[in-house]
Amino acid sequence: MVKKLLRSKKANALAWLIALVLVFVIGLVYAVMTHPFTMIYDKLYPNVTANPSEAAYTPTFDKISNVWKIWPILVILGVIIWAIVETVNRNRGYQY
């Protein structure tokens, strides 16, 4: 019984360690890549909006900007939910 408990604690610690490392890497990638993204976005966006024939691309650029702002939050929430689900004690007798 004690071995199962220790193995369970080790597995839980490993899951949370993996989750924390992933959150750190996601934050690092977002922080590093935001500068090039804003440079490219600021360079292209005025050219697209100034030309009336390319005005149809404006909503696409707005969506790209919104996705860039939101993706790290969604991925971090997914990693946290994964870690919580991974560490929940499962009773093998019940299906859910």
Q: Which amino acid is at 49?
A: T
All structural domains of the chain with their residue ranges:
7-87
Distance from C-alpha of 53 to C-alpha of 30, rounded to nearest angstrom: 33
Residue 78's pLDDT band, with cuts at 50, 70 and 90, is: very high
Distance from C-alpha of 30 to C-alpha of 41, rounded to nearest angstrom: 15
Helices (H) and strands (E) in the chain, counts: 2, 0
Cα distances from 10 to residues 19, 43, 60, 79, in angstroms, run: 14, 49, 46, 18
Residue 71's pLDDT band, with cuts at 50, 70 and 90, is: very high
Residue 22's pLDDT band, with cuts at 50, 70 and 90, is: very high
Q: Which amino acid is at 79?
A: V
User: pTM to 2 decimals?
Assistant: 0.75
Which residue reads 């990638």 in tokens?
29
